[in-house]
Amino acid sequence: MAVNGGDLTSTGALNITPGGTLTAGVSGQTLTLQGNASTSLRATNAGNTTIVAFTNPTANTTLNFPALSNGTYTICTDNGNCAGAGVTLQAAYNNSSTPEIVLDATRAALTIRDTAGGLGANLLEVQSNGGGTTYLAVTASGLTITGTAVVSSNINSSGGALQTNGTNRIDNSGNLTNIVALTLSGAISGGTTYSGSGNINTTGGVIQTNSTTRIDNSGNLTNIAAITASGSATLQGGSLTLGTNAQAGSMVINDGTSKYRHPASRCAWPKHGIHIARPRGRYSYYMFDHR
């Protein structure tokens, strides 16, 4: 059958059933196939049929197939997302206008799961461009950060300690430990106890107990109720001043009932009282006692 020019029309349904391959059009001519919303293309093999159908159009839409290099490609569907077709996360990123993943209540969280036997390596990594530096690594045992972590909320350890350089600094009970020096710009408050061999240095404040200054920023003892020593106590310096002219009071020095034996005369002196040694003298003493 040959139709040269004009239209091929039918007053009813028109079926074209060739005895062989059906080819419509030629490569040098435009081909337009059109129909209503029920238009479909069908392919059947061994009783199985694949239908390419259309959803009812709600706007004028053009779907373009991209120009690709030589090869055979698979059109992606929502089942498997082109599994086995060579699609990569990089390709998905490259074709994203806004490369973010927006979650919703239906699909919930984005989850990365370890292998059944445990991967034994990083489960998630953030690296430099060449892959030589891993800025962030998540493993089955913890989190590793290269650089500085800036945290705007709490750091909570439910079963471990806070460490620096692999050494515990705050244990899980909240105690400071292995602290070399403690430097403050403000006050320490609360029912806390400090124990250590390092320095406590305040550059602009004082040391207080019960909100009362005990050591001022110049190093002076102030508001001290009593100084108690468990052994011998020595107060030394260029000069020693007890009391002031503007204050009236008394000074009481108590001692036990021990005896002091003079090293030269071997006489037993009462040790209780006040003994004042003469500067650079060997055996001269000024002694005041209660007798």
Residue 30 resides in a domain: no
CA dihedral 256, 257, 258, 260 (to 10 degrees): 110
Residue 267 resides in a domain: yes
The residue ranking higher by pLDDT, 226 or 6, is 226
For range 54-80, the mean pLDDT: 84
Per-residue pLDDT tens over the stretch 1-51: 566 667 778 888 888 888 999 888 888 889 888 999 999 999 999 999 999
Which residues make Cβ contacts (< 8 Å) with residue 99, sequence separation at least 6? Answer: 93
Tokens describing residue 88: 């990569």
Per-residue pLDDT tens over the stretch 196-218: 677 777 777 888 888 899 999 88
Residue 40 resides in a domain: no
For range 76-101, the mean pLDDT: 71
Q: What is the pLDDT of residue 269?
A: 53
Residue 192 resides in a domain: yes
Q: Could you give the CA distance from residue 91 to residue 87 in angstroms, rounded to a whole number?
A: 7
Please indicate, yes or no, whether residues 214 and 168 belong to a single structural domain of this protein. yes
Q: What is the pLDDT of residue 98?
A: 85
Q: Is pLDDT of 59 > 70?
A: yes
Q: What is the pLDDT of residue 240?
A: 74
CB 124 within 8 A of CB 137: yes
Number of domains composing the chain:
2
Q: What is the pLDDT of residue 209?
A: 84
Q: What is the pLDDT of residue 186?
A: 66
The residue ranking higher by pLDDT, 104 or 238, is 104
CB 152 within 8 A of CB 164: no
Residue 171 resides in a domain: yes
| 3-class state of residue 207 by DSSP | strand
Domain containing residue 207: 161-223
Q: What is the pLDDT of residue 60?
A: 95
Residue 129 resides in a domain: no
Q: What is the pLDDT of residue 276?
A: 56
Residue 217 resides in a domain: yes
Residue 39 resides in a domain: no
223, 243, 266 — which closes off a domain? 223
Nearest to 146 by CA among 131, 135, 138, 137: 135
Q: Where are the alpha helices (DSSP H) in the chain?
A: 89-94
223, 243, 268 — which closes off a domain? 223
223, 244, 274 — which closes off a domain? 223
Q: What is the pTM for the complete model shown?
A: 0.43
Per-residue pLDDT tens over the stretch 149-186: 899 998 888 888 999 998 999 999 888 889 887 776 66
The residue ranking higher by pLDDT, 159 or 123, is 123
Please indicate, yes or no, whether residues 216 and 261 belong to a single structural domain of this protein. no
When pLDDT is cut at 50, 70 and 90, the band that residue 284 belongs to is: very low
Q: What is the pLDDT of residue 74?
A: 76
Please indicate, yes or no, whether residues 165 and 211 belong to a single structural domain of this protein. yes
The residue ranking higher by pLDDT, 290 or 224, is 224
Q: What is the pLDDT of residue 244?
A: 74
CB 209 within 8 A of CB 189: no
Q: Could you give the CA distance from residue 158 to residue 79 in angstroms, rounded to a whole number?
A: 42
The residue ranking higher by pLDDT, 91 or 257, is 91
When pLDDT is cut at 50, 70 and 90, the band that residue 283 belongs to is: very low
For range 110-137, the mean pLDDT: 95
